[in-house]
Amino acid sequence: MRKPFVAGNWKMNMDGRSSVDLAKRLASESVGIADQKVTVAICPPFVYLQAVVKALDGSSIAVGAQDSYFEPNGAFTGEISIPMLKDIGCTYCLCGHSERRHVIGETDELINQKVTSAINGGLLPILCVGELLNEREASKTEEVVTRHVKEGLAGLSAEKVSAVTIAYEPVWAIGTGLTATPQQAQEVHDFIRKLLAQMYDEQLAQEIRIQYGGSVKPGNAAELMSQKDVDGLLVGGASLKADDFLAIIKAAV
């Protein structure tokens, strides 16, 4: 009943031409699958969003931004607002990706402002949560994930939270080639779903999609997706290669 959801996070990669070429290939080779069987989104860098939206015109692949700012407009040099993203045809927005938390230094409070403004502005946030290696080793995974989920969604009603996708991305698995085992992913996804049931209600918890992210590849996608509470995948490196990303989309059906 939860439609699988595969999203590609291009991070700070690609150029104008390769962005358009990749988007067009994904569009033509996912006909009949994207949207019908799997929700598919790609998140290019800001500067290529418009070109990618245009390249995907008529396809069922949605476009997301990798970040946003929570104010709608004003003197915020260098930032991009939700209304701007909406204006150019974005549907999704990543919020609180681990690189924004740990490289750029975003706090849970700022991430909450971004999630809130995305929902209020009509974009669908993908809230990324997950522990560092030392936190896992210190058995703090549940504590960290609880904080990310509770603080990321603070102040939002169940109705608003129904617009959110959660992406569980253990930081130690991102870009490292170290994937969480399907069992490790399932354990945390189950934990997040129970947490959502406590915070809101069982129905919402059953409806929300929880993606796994961290070194997802064509070779591990199907096994991760076979887990009961893994509803989709957030893919970094492998989303830059058409063949790999298409294979992952197909593995999620």
Provide the annotated active-site residues: 97, 169
Smallest gap from Cβ 173 to ligand PGA, in A, equals: 6
According to the binding rule CB under 6 A, does residue 175 interact with ligand PGA?
Answer: yes
| 235 belongs to the binding site for ligand PGA (CB under 6 A) | yes
Q: Is 234 in the site for ligand PGA (CB under 6 A)?
A: yes
Number of residues binding to ligand PGA, judged by CB under 6 A: 13
The residues, ordered by sequence, that sit 6+ positions from 45 with a Cβ below 8 Å of its Cβ are 10, 11, 12, 13, 14, 19, 66
Residues 150-169, one symbol each (x = binds ligand PGA by CB under 6 A, - = not), give -------------------x
Closer to ligand PGA by CB, 185 or 234: give it: 234
> Could you tell me the end-to-end alpha-carbon distance of the chain, in angstroms, rounded to an integer?
13
Binding residues among 3-22 for ligand PGA as defined by CB under 6 A:
9
Instruction: Identify whether the C-beta of residue 105 lies closer than 8 Å to the C-beta of residue 72.
Output: no
Among 4, 44, 152, 237, binds ligand PGA (CB under 6 A): 237
Q: Tell whether residue 213 is a contact of ligand PGA (CB under 6 A).
A: yes
Site membership for ligand PGA, residue 174 (CB under 6 A): yes
Contact segment (CB under 6 A) with ligand PGA among 47-55, 111-119, 138-146, 233-241 equals 233-241
Q: Which residues bind ligand PGA (CB under 6 A)?
A: 9, 169, 174-175, 213-216, 234-238
